[in-house]
Structure 1
């Protein structure tokens, strides 16, 4: 029998994002029956599926408690999730970066701070350009950039919700050289892009005017990305390794194992590789 696989998406993208349509066709060619399902829809019977592939659950961090409860529901029903739920839980909080640092991965210098500690950490960086983002977040939600100690950043801090935050130096290389995204399927490198923000901005997402260019990574960048992925544990079905090169050294910014944009439309062969990796796990 053909195995059915749910493509978990958000209510805003109930019919899937256009970039996933080639993947749907590739999954069918690989012998699967893919069905889009909104992860927050209480009427969905997830137990009828042979697996759930997380795709555009791009609102999970907004409904984080509900998301973790949903993962537990899938575990209880015995429905495999790609990537596995234990890996997804670990990856859902950016504090994993500090774990990877302990395992020898070069990361963007990072401190974790919550509540009153946030102002203490920022005060210790007076005069430096910094970026502050929640450890559970996406799409630059509640992310601020500014000079530590400046009135502008103090005002921004006052408006932030009471969450746990990641405090990092702002790296001008993101504006000049761009941010790398390297895509891996079943541990094998597939393709890469460089993302650059709009003039005067620091956010590389297309929503904020960022531009993306397909690019072949240098051997040093590729090996650094592979090392970061290997340090994360069992090989995931899909992964996106984001980082920036500073002084000829690749620094990991994020390791995306939940719902990353995979830059598939421009890469038909990559789409087939992902479909084959998914089919092999179902």
Structure 2
């Protein structure tokens, strides 16, 4: 009997993101029957599938309560989620960075602030270049950068919605050296890219003109990324993971650990689609 797997996506990518299409063929080759489904579509019978693989669910952060309720429905129906639903819930809020810091992971220095506390935290950083981002966000949504204490940043903060935020120092190495993304499949390092922002920007996403180039990380960067995954507390190791970070003052600092819907750079490393498909088939067998 063929194992059916749903590839959960967003309505904006109802036919799957174009760069993920090789994964469909790889899953079929691995003996699975993949079907692309929009995660928020109420007409989908998720119990008809042997598993759900999260892919381009890139709207989850704007519908977070609905998304976590959907995960609960899958749990109740006994449908396995890749990555594990508990792991996804933990990873959905960037406050996980503080937990990883407690477990010995070097992260970009981070403070959490909500409501009126945001301005208090920023005031304590007067004169420093900082970045403010929601703890539940993606693709630089509602992210601002500026000089703490400046009128420009104060005005930008006034436009932010009432939310919980991370406050971090801006690391100029993102512009000068780039940001690393190291991809792990079934617990093994697969490949890496070095992402750079467009001239004058600090956001590395391609939506803002950023680029990603295949690159071989130095042994120290690899070791640091390995340590990030080793620090994850989960009954089921992630079938895919992306470790994002920057080397500052000679040390790799974790910016984000992506376990929900990371772009995995298949075009830069085509063999990764087969690797992931094989791992998924193994998890569902």
SS of equivalent residue, structure 1 residue 203:
coil
Quote the Cα distance in structure 2 between the aligned partners of 1:139 and 1:166: 15
- How far has the Cα of 1:270 moved from its partner? 1.2
How high is the TM-score relative to the length of structure 2?
Answer: 0.98
Q: Which residue number in structure 2 is paired with residue 149 of structure 1?
A: 149
- How far has the Cα of 1:271 moved from its partner? 1.2
Q: Which residue number in structure 1 is paired with residue 280 of structure 2?
A: 278
How high is the TM-score relative to the length of structure 1?
Answer: 0.99
CA RMSD of aligned residues (A): 0.5
SS of equivalent residue, structure 1 residue 112:
strand
SS of equivalent residue, structure 1 residue 274:
helix
Q: Which residue number in structure 1 is paired with residue 6 of structure 2?
A: 6
Structure 1 residue runs of 4 or more that deviate by more than 2 Å after TM superposition: none
1:22 aligns with 2:15: no
Contact in 2 for aligned 1:126/1:147 (Cα 8 Å) = yes
Q: Which residue number in structure 2 is paired with residue 253 of structure 1?
A: 255
Q: Which residue number in structure 2 is paired with residue 124 of structure 1?
A: 124
Quote the Cα distance in structure 2 between the aligned partners of 1:271 and 1:217: 21
After superposition, give the CA deviation of every residue in 1:181-200 in whole Å (9 maximum; x if it has no partner).
00000110000000000001
- 1:212-251 equivalences in 2 (<5 Å): 212-234=212-234, 235-251=237-253
Q: Which residue number in structure 2 is paired with residue 79 of structure 1?
A: 79
Quote the Cα distance in structure 1 between the aligned partners of 2:12 and 2:184: 27
After superposition, give the CA deviation of every residue in 1:126-182 in whole Å (9 maximum; x if it has no partner).
010000000000111100000000000000111100000000000000000000000
Contact in 1 for aligned 2:213/2:268 (Cα 8 Å) = no
Contact in 2 for aligned 1:193/1:215 (Cα 8 Å) = yes
Contact in 1 for aligned 2:173/2:246 (Cα 8 Å) = yes
Q: Which residue number in structure 2 is paired with residue 164 of structure 1?
A: 164
Q: Which runs of 5 or more structure 2 residues have no equivalent in the other structure?
A: none
- How far has the Cα of 1:266 moved from its partner? 2.6
Contact in 2 for aligned 1:22/1:265 (Cα 8 Å) = no
Q: Which runs of 5 or more structure 1 residues have no equivalent in the other structure?
A: none
Quote the Cα distance in structure 2 between the aligned partners of 1:281 and 1:156: 45
SS of equivalent residue, structure 1 residue 34:
strand
Quote the Cα distance in structure 2 between the aligned partners of 1:19 and 1:194: 18
After superposition, give the CA deviation of every residue in 1:83-123 in whole Å (9 maximum; x if it has no partner).
00000000000000000000000000000000010000000
After superposition, give the CA deviation of every residue in 1:17-76 in whole Å (9 maximum; x if it has no partner).
111110100000000000000001000000000000000000000001100100000000
SS of equivalent residue, structure 1 residue 156:
helix
Quote the Cα distance in structure 2 between the aligned partners of 1:174 and 1:229: 22
Contact in 2 for aligned 1:192/1:215 (Cα 8 Å) = yes
> Which range moves more in the overlay, 265-274 or 219-228?
265-274
SS of equivalent residue, structure 2 residue 61:
coil
Q: Which residue number in structure 2 is paired with residue 137 of structure 1?
A: 137
SS of equivalent residue, structure 2 residue 60:
coil
Contact in 1 for aligned 2:193/2:213 (Cα 8 Å) = yes
Quote the Cα distance in structure 2 between the aligned partners of 1:98 and 1:68: 21
Contact in 2 for aligned 1:183/1:240 (Cα 8 Å) = yes
- How far has the Cα of 1:247 moved from its partner? 1.1
